[in-house]
Chain A
Amino acid sequence: MENKLIVTAAPHLHAHQSTARIMWSVSLALLPAGAAGVYLFGYAALAVIVTAVAAALATEWLLQKMTRRQVTLLDGSAFLTGLLLAYNLPSGVPLWMPAVGSFFAIAVGKQIFGGLGQNIFNPALAARAFLMASWPAYMTSFRAPGFDAVASATPLSALKEGHLRQVYSYLDLFLGNKGGCIGEVCVAGLLAGAVFLFLKGYITWHIPVSYLLTAGIFHYVFGPSGLFSGDWLFYLFSGGLVLGAFYMATDYVTSPLTAKGQLIYGTGCGLLTVVIRLWGGYPEGTCYAILMMNAVSPFIDRYTRGRIYGTGKMR
């Protein structure tokens, strides 16, 4: 208590930032993509989003009550986790799946490690990987946009299975007129939100740019007909790459702290995504690429630690 008076040198600026502020801003930035998803896939998508968010909040409340810790529902982190999980699900999943997934995200992905700031893996992605491993049939049955619920493949899975991409123009891919998860289809909406986050300074360019650049270059180099023939724009606009690069990989808790570390991290994400997409068993690799880089980000942090000013050479 005797340290109530903190004496530091001027200037004194208040940054007006808090966890809650950032979490709610990211949620706000995700709004256009979600609205586009609901518009494209109908109310089923809205039901998935609402269920996932509600289950995430309920789990957070329940676990914090059970472990007698402070309830932090209002900081928006559980809300954001539920929202991101829903964005990573196809619109046609039965509603118990977002609920189970959100429970897994908050309980196993976050609270077991000690809550916000302690988790190794991005909770929403951990839950997506869990759902993918547990109920693969539901997780890979996508619907075409429109209210008549026609089954459809995503551009990437169609490509993987060999029947080549049919009618996707770049504009279709950009606006979201394709099969896919609720929040990943509308690249335009995701980019609009990302610009907002950049302007606010909540995310820096390091991770998204290095991620997308690496993925783009490697998709271009390792094309279907020999080197340097890849349709990199198609790949960048397909699947969850944009959603992952701007909203998942940039998660403060699970990504490196230093700028240099973030560049390594983004490059690793891009490389792994391309490797999984082109040579792996799954059509889409964003989720697993980010999870793998989450696992190594403490090591990246350790080896990119800056020099303490005035202490001579970096060890």
Chain B
Amino acid sequence: MKLLPEFLKGIIKQNPIFVLALGLCPVLAVSTSVKNALGMGAAATFVLVGSNCIVSLIKKGVPDTIRIPCFIIVIATFVTIAELVMKAYSPALNRALGIYVPLIVVNCVVLGRAEAFASRRTLPASLADALGMGIGFTLGLALISAVRELLGSGQLLGYTLLPGFQPALMMALPPGALLVIGGMLGFFNLLKGRKE
């Protein structure tokens, strides 16, 4: 079985954020601190794994014309589970992420993988794909949020790293997210261009 490449491709080669440019909305919104980013990444990964597995299992029974609503119901189920778990065990994180937890339902990484991958592949391949994509999403989110948290509040994971530094408020605001994502996309494209 060639599960390993299916798993690995999501991390760098087809990174959902930097290469596929999917799921940018939650990336813009919750990348203000590394802690939020990791929480968001974990929730999205959980939903991805769950929905990819179920979609892969039910792919034969789903009529083609209504496949999207069916996938959305599967995804919404896992999002609800994730939200309830988060509310129960980490209410602070849930409050910090706010509306963006239920909005994982419309995260295009999740639906994109269900539609483009899980609905036509076997269960093990879909599981590997979901794990890889989830980890790639989390890593990208963490990278962006690390830059934003460092520049926007002078901290990393809540610890002050640069004592005398006057944080640039804008990096914690929406324009900062757009700037960092744009800059990183450009940088990774540059690396890709050099390689080819």
Contacts and interface: CB of A to CB of B under 8 A. Distances in A.
Interface of A: 96, 100, 108, 112, 130, 133-136
Given A96-B166, A134-B168, 16 more contacts: A100-B168, A108-B179, A112-B186, A130-B168, A130-B170, A133-B169, A133-B170, A133-B173, A133-B175, A134-B169, A134-B170, A134-B171, A135-B166, A135-B168, A135-B169, A136-B169
Contacts of A100: 168
A148 B169 CA distance: 30
Nearest to A107: B183
Nearest to A94: B166
11 contacts: A96-B166, A108-B179, A130-B168, A133-B169, A133-B170, A133-B175, A134-B169, A134-B171, A135-B168, A135-B169, A136-B169
Contacts, number: 18
Interface residues of B, number: 9
B142 to A, nearest CB: 23
Interface of B: 166, 168-171, 173, 175, 179, 186
A134 B172 CA distance: 9
Contacts of B169: 133-136
A136 B172 CA distance: 14
B163 to A, nearest CB: 15
Contacts of B171: 134
The 9 closest A-B pairs by CB, nearest first: A134-B168, A133-B170, A134-B170, A134-B169, A130-B170, A133-B169, A133-B173, A135-B166, A133-B175
Contacts of A130: 168, 170
Nearest to A96: B166
A135 B152 CA distance: 11
Contacts of B166: 96, 135
A133 B171 CA distance: 9
A112 B166 CA distance: 25
A89 to B, nearest CB: 15
Nearest to A108: B179
A261 B169 CA distance: 36
A112 B179 CA distance: 11
Nearest to A67: B190
A135 B169 CA distance: 6
A100 B165 CA distance: 13
A58 B168 CA distance: 21
Contacts of B179: 108
Contacts of B168: 100, 130, 134-135
B121 to A, nearest CB: 39
A141 B173 CA distance: 22
A108 B170 CA distance: 14
A101 B68 CA distance: 48
B189 to A, nearest CB: 13
A51 to B, nearest CB: 16
A133 B179 CA distance: 14
A277 to B, nearest CB: 22
A112 B184 CA distance: 12
Contacts of A133: 169-170, 173, 175
Contacts of B186: 112
